[in-house]
Amino acid sequence: MQPDYLSQDVFDREIERISYGVWHAVAFLSDLRNPNDFVLEQIGRKEVIIQNVGGRVCAFTNVCPHRFSAIHNVPKGNRALVCPYHQWRFDQNGCASFPAIADASQITHKPHLERWRVEAVGNVVYVCLNTSAPPLREYLGPSWAWIEAVSLSSGHEYETFETEIRANWKVIINNTIEFYHAYSVHPQTFRPMIDAPLRALEVLPTSQPHIHYAMRLKSDKQIRLDNLIGKTLKRPSIIGRNSYEHLYSFPNMTIGHVNGRSFSYFRYVPISPTATKLIARTWMPKPEKPSETIAQFCRDYAAENGPFIRKVSDEDKAICETVQRGLASRPPDWPQHFLGDENLIAQFHRDYFAIMG
């Protein structure tokens, strides 16, 4: 059985089973340091507020229960959790209080916002609407410790961008969890860095439905640069191999790094059966002892590596859109063929159908 990449009916079922059923990476604690800091994220058809309310990170659907106004109107900012229409104010539990001018005597039950579960691992904030889903630590399994180590080792954020990819989100995930395409799609970016034959150095322990692998590097330049950074910047002890390492956290985030030199977090927001928003953010490792010399080193490295990340992303975007175009003409009885470590895609398909039912 293969996933459907075109059907609106399937996309609608994915919203119910996946968007509202499992944990989603949505933000970073560093975005929410101050009381009233907030970000808005789209999950399924719901716009979700993730906000620091009185020192606690909370998440609510962005709609007031009074007359159904949106509470926040910008992607991020610092503003109290107050509806702009009639000034209803909400606490950490989403419960409403009313301005003095209001007569609330006719309200027979206490209004409240639709509340999402919130948990953080390291610097990464996850939310879930499903009250019966397991706790985040159980959901992530062995990936919890790795995400914690990597995210807490992330220092200066130097590259951030968003783009829309005209492809189904599953096409994009298929592409992120295989590296057979590295020679053909990334000839000037990834290809010079990787060993042949193309294979996983190691498929790392995780729990379903997440996927974690390391891919061997070959370039002496990569090793020399890694040693240079290792002398000046703190690197998590979990990273000890000459490799590109990649974690897919089902359903919407990937984290990748080359030898711990910088950490790229890509989040994928399904828009329609044939469109997905990519949100990309990249950090340098946190320095052991900050100094102006190290700060300048990081700026120089970021100036070189930022365009590299964007170029790789643009190359992947182009090929995913090409695949989506081909899918529209694919004979329905054609199977997909998985070579070598492309079997990780088959694993993603099995996990996907287990959740979809």
The CA-CA-CA angle for residues 254, 168, 262, to 5°, reads 20
Residue with tokens 């948990």: 119
In this predicted structure, the answer to whether residue 106 has a pLDDT above a threshold of 70 is: no
What was the pLDDT predicted at 333? 86
Share of the chain above pLDDT 90, in %: 61
Give the three-state DSSP class for 252. coil
Same domain for 188 and 117? no
Domain count, the chain: 2
Same domain for 306 and 231? yes
Share of the chain above pLDDT 70, in %: 88
In this predicted structure, the answer to whether residue 163 has a pLDDT above a threshold of 60 is: yes
On whether residue 5 sits in a domain, the answer given is no
On whether residue 245 sits in a domain, the answer given is yes
Same domain for 242 and 157? yes
**pLDDT, the chain, mean:** 88
User: Which of residues 104 and 252 earns the better pLDDT score?
Assistant: 252
For residues 44 and 22, give the distance between their C-alpha atoms in angstroms, rounded to a whole number.
12
Q: Return the CATH number at 278.
A: 3.90.380.10
For residues 276 and 93, give the distance between their C-alpha atoms in angstroms, rounded to a whole number.
31
In this predicted structure, the answer to whether residue 230 has a pLDDT above a threshold of 70 is: no
What was the pLDDT predicted at 128? 98
Same domain for 78 and 221? no
CA distance to 67, 70, 78, 87, 92, per residue, from 102 (Å): 14, 19, 26, 10, 22
Domain final residue, candidates 110, 132, 154: 132
Same domain for 126 and 155? no
Same domain for 104 and 181? no
| Range with lowest mean pLDDT among 32-46, 97-111, 181-195, 258-272 | 97-111
| Range with lowest mean pLDDT among 70-79, 137-146, 221-230 | 221-230
Query: Residue 208: which domain range?
Result: 143-356
What was the pLDDT predicted at 237? 47
| Mean pLDDT computed over 215-236 | 59
Quick: pLDDT tens for 195-222.
666 666 667 778 889 999 888 776 555 5
Same domain for 34 and 165? no
On whether residue 137 sits in a domain, the answer given is no
Same domain for 48 and 127? yes
What was the pLDDT predicted at 130? 96
Residue with tokens 């070598």: 340
On whether residue 3 sits in a domain, the answer given is no
Same domain for 162 and 122? no
Q: What is the DSSP letter of 181?
A: T
| Mean pLDDT computed over 8-29 | 97
In this predicted structure, the answer to whether residue 240 has a pLDDT above a threshold of 80 is: no
Domain final residue, candidates 132, 165, 199: 132
Domain final residue, candidates 132, 159, 186: 132
On whether residue 295 sits in a domain, the answer given is yes
Same domain for 63 and 189? no
Quick: pLDDT tens for 108-152.
667 899 999 999 999 999 999 999 999 999 999 999 999 998 898
Give the three-state DSSP class for 12. helix
| Mean pLDDT computed over 52-79 | 96
What was the pLDDT predicted at 241? 59
User: Which of residues 235 and 105 earns the better pLDDT score?
Assistant: 105
What was the pLDDT predicted at 232? 55
pLDDT band at residue 300 using 50, 70 and 90 as cut-offs: confident
Same domain for 72 and 153? no
In this predicted structure, the answer to whether residue 299 has a pLDDT above a threshold of 90 is: no
On whether residue 4 sits in a domain, the answer given is no
